[in-house]
């Protein structure tokens, strides 16, 4: 029988047969023992696990062990325990601006965006989503920047290539970039990936870590 299909009482019995255990209390969930002690809670699913971690976690050691990539990505995108206590005081929903969606709430007739609530940027500044998944509001994915820096972090928008700054010309691939109204032709390539990498090098030269990169693993952040 799969582990997740067992009733919690059965799990407790089977665990107790292997190692010394005792029922956990609410106090146990928020206790950092600094010892070889585990507080284990069996929940009904991913949502319940996220809720439990957001309520009791330390914000330093959240983790998930799963063979399901979708669940792993959802866990990483939704959990940010450092900000949960404050954010959970409000009801958040999804707001669409053009083709982009953001987590937001209403306050006195105006829209408050979660990423700005978290980062508290000065007037005139933008909060940029680095990856750029605009529903990923973990602090490691947010940075305060200028409007110009925000604009250069834009992903693919369709076209003959899957990469930004690349398009097909017959059986070749052209790499290009436009910066402050000036067009830069970067070359004609046999390989689409090589064209994309050439575009990335110039984008990083112009914009540094704020550039959208087809291959971000090739550059320091």
pLDDT higher than threshold 90 for residue 149: yes
pLDDT band at 81; cut points 50, 70, 90: low
The rounded percent of the chain whose pLDDT value lies above 90 is: 44
Higher pLDDT, 182 or 11: 182
pLDDT band at 8; cut points 50, 70, 90: low
The secondary structure of 141-210, three-state, reads HEEEECHHHHHCCCCCCCCCCCCCCEEEECCEEEEEEEECCEEEEEEEECCHHHHHHHHHHHHHHHHHHH
pLDDT higher than threshold 70 for residue 58: no
Architecture in CATH of 152-218: 2-Layer Sandwich (3.30)
Question: Mean pLDDT score of the chain, rounded to an integer?
Answer: 85
DSSP of 10-23: HHHHHHHTTS----
The pLDDT score that the predictor gives to residue 2 is: 47
The average pLDDT across 147-171 equals 94
**Number of Cβ within a 10 Å radius of residue 49:** 17
Residue 177 dihedral angles phi and psi, to the nearest 5° = -155, 145
pLDDT higher than threshold 50 for residue 63: yes
The pLDDT score that the predictor gives to residue 61 is: 60
Give the C-alpha separation, 85 to 88, whole Å. 6
The pLDDT score that the predictor gives to residue 97 is: 87
The pLDDT score that the predictor gives to residue 73 is: 60
The pLDDT score that the predictor gives to residue 1 is: 43
pLDDT band at 65; cut points 50, 70, 90: confident
Query: What are the Cα distances from residue 49, in Å, to 36, 71, 155, 174?
Result: 22, 11, 32, 48
Residue found under tokens 């009733």: 7
Higher pLDDT, 25 or 146: 146
pLDDT higher than threshold 60 for residue 59: no
pLDDT digits (tens, 9 = 90+) for 171-181: 999 999 999 99
**Sequence spans of domains, the chain:** 3-86, 90-145, 152-218
The pLDDT score that the predictor gives to residue 158 is: 85
Higher pLDDT, 119 or 221: 119
The average pLDDT across 54-73 equals 68
Instruction: Specify the pTM.
Output: 0.63
Coil vs helix vs strand at 63: coil
Give the C-alpha separation, 34 to 28, whole Å. 13
**CATH 3.40.309.10 for the 3-86 domain, yes or no:** yes
pLDDT higher than threshold 70 for residue 5: no
């Amino acid at each position: 029988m799969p582990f997740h299909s067992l009733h919690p009482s059965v799990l407790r019995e089977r665990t107790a047969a292997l190692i010394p255990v005792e029922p956990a209390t609410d106090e146990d969930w928020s206790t950092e023992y600094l010892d070889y002690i585990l507080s284990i809670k069996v929940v009904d699913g991913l949502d319940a696990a996220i809720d439990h971690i957001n309520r009791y976690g330390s914000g330093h050691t959240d983790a998930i062990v799963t063979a399901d990539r979708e669940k792993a990505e959802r866990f990483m995108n939704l959990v940010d325990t450092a900000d949960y206590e404050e954010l959970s005081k409000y009801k958040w929903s999804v707001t669409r601006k053009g083709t982009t969606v953001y987590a937001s709430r209403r306050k006195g007739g105006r829209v408050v965006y979660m990423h700005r609530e978290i980062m508290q940027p000065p007037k005139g500044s933008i909060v940029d989503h680095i990856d750029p998944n605009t529903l990923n509001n973990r602090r490691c994915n947010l940075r305060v920047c200028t409007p110009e820096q925000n604009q250069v972090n834009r992903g693919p928008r369709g076209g003959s290539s899957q990469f930004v700054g690349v398009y097909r010309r017959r059986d070749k691939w052209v790499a290009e970039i436009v910066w402050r109204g000036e067009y830069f032709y970067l070359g004609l390539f046999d390989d689409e990936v090589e064209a994309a990498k050439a575009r990335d090098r110039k984008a990083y030269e112009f914009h540094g870590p704020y550039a959208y990169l087809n291959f971000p693993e090739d550059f320091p952040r």
